[in-house]
Amino acid sequence: MRTLDDRKIVVASHNKGKLAEIADLIAPFGFEAKSAAEYGLPEPEETGTTFEENAYIKAHAAASATGLPALSDDSGLMVDALGGDPGVYTANWAELADGTRDFQVAMERTQKLLDQKSAHTPQDRQGKFVSVICVAWPDGHAEYFRGEAQGTLVWPPRGTRGFGYDPMFQPAGHERTFGEMSAEEKHGWKPGQDEALSHRARAFQAFAREMLGAG
């Protein structure tokens, strides 16, 4: 496995909510991290059919443009009753005609489809969040780290914290949704502490353990 020789890295994302979460997770390791937006980089078209492919597209584009290692996350919600949808198209379900995104619309679409499947009990409304972190270098080399969080899709949505589908996702073993949790509760992990809770924190935990030697 290739390691990071220094602590300069590009976070290959323009998503403010995702950038905030990655910033919280990466802060303890002393990285000098700037986002792709800060470098003035355009958002590459995500044409992959897997989380790994899309994560690589974003990370390698940023690494190639800046000459620095780049870290990207591709994540999504997979609902069992919907055959794993929306999956890699999770953000697309929130897109409006003007190109902006409204995740309230995305959650309503998800609920409508679950209603059509008569998925009303918690057992029928199982799903998981998936996050794949890719660290890519300008020469094309890449390392991948995957995290998953199992849970139940609730309705109506609860909470105003987090972003995306967080208000309708209640992680397994918990009574509150991600939307009702603070960032610290949602991540559930810092170096030397307990196992992570969220999908992104679990992927980042694997990255930190394998590439940075963190506990």
Q: Any idea of the CA torsion for 170, 174, 175, 179, to the nearest 10 degrees? A: -40
Helices (H), 36-168: 51-66, 103-116
Tell how far CA 169 is from the center of its chain.
14
Distance (Å) of CA 211 to CA 3, 10, 92, 145, 153? 5, 16, 32, 10, 33
Specify whether 24 is catalytic. Answer: no
**Among 5, 6, 74, 80, which one carries the catalytic annotation?**
74
Task: Report pLDDT digits (tens) over 9-65.
Answer: 999 988 888 888 888 888 888 888 899 999 999 999 999 999 999 999 999 999 999
Task: Report pLDDT digits (tens) over 88-142.
Answer: 999 999 999 998 999 999 999 999 999 999 999 999 999 999 999 999 999 999 9
User: What b-and-e string marks burial along 123-144, b requiring 16 or more CB atoms within 10 Å of the CB?
Assistant: eebbbbbbbbbbbbbeeeebbb
Residue 133 contacts residue 143 (beta carbons within 8 Å): no
Alpha-carbon gap, residue 173 to 157, rounded angstroms: 18
State the distance between the two ends of the chain, measured CA to CA, in whole angstroms: 18
Please state the pTM of the whole predicted model.
0.90
Specify the fold of 8-212: Maf protein (3.90.950)
